[in-house]
Amino acid sequence: MRTRPIIIAHRGFSGRYPENTLRAFEEALRLRVDAIETDVRSTKDGALILIHDDTVDRTTNGSGHVKDLTLDEISKLDAGSWRGEEFAGEHIPTLAEALNLIEGEVMLLVEIKEPDTTHAVIETLRHHMAFGWVNIVSFHSKAIKLTKQNEPEIPCALIGGKEIGSSDGTFFDFVYDTLNCGANSVMVHYSTLTPKRIHYCHERFLSVGTWTVDNRDLAKKLIAMGVDAIASNFPDVMLETMAA
């Protein structure tokens, strides 16, 4: 039995390093976090790369939609300089590169941004024999359903944003959707959580994760409520909070 929530490095150690890069993942591993979260999208030629936005504009020196660029074009972009010149030369990694780096050292949460990539993601996980240490998470219930249809044993979480917190009824409807698509847990914005709602999930054997928490006092409040996992851009701060 765990005595504290799982600490998830959100997009790697993204509070101090370029998000969704191998450097951010390496630094998260050095912290000995419990898990790393990342985002997967498909390029024009079907390669699976790790990037949050649907364009490369914010986190690279390039521009354009991911779906309109080839892997070769994307691999030439600098994905580190925007965070600091000391990170110049970092590239946007592929899902395969991240799997090779992590190799089950910690849990990896793969957020599927585009449901149509689900089959390709599962095939990549199968090739790397990663089913035992990867969770699939998504805002899209379709992606969860497709995952469970193909590999029922892969743990999955349905993600919910601020909008599901408007009322207990709205939150409970989201929980129903979570159960209906076969997910094992919810991953929701911290503003949506109350002790009552967490208890409601636990009664239905759903784990409760929350994002994105960078404040110590907020983390302590959520821990007191009974959350099972906390995603943070500053996992070092969260680990220090747990230790205290």
Exactly one of 10, 91, 128, 140 is catalytic; which is it?
10
CB 12 within 8 A of CB 24: yes
Q: Clarify whether 10 is annotated catalytic.
A: yes
Residue with token string 């805002």: 139
29: exposed, middle or buried (Cβ count in 10 Å: 0-12, 13-18, 19+): middle
Dist. CA 223–CA 230, nearest whole Å: 9
For residue 217 the two structure tokens come to 């006092």
Region of 232 on the Ramachandran plot (φ > 0 left; ψ -120 to 50 alpha; else beta) = beta
Q: Answer yes or no: 202 catalytic.
A: no
Q: What are phi and psi of 243, to 5 degrees?
A: -65, -30
Alpha carbon distance 11, 193 (integer Å): 22
Three-state secondary structure along 114-155?
Answer: CHHHHHHHHHHHHHCCCCCCEEEEECCHHHHHHHHHHCCCCC
- Catalytic residue positions, numbered: 10, 52
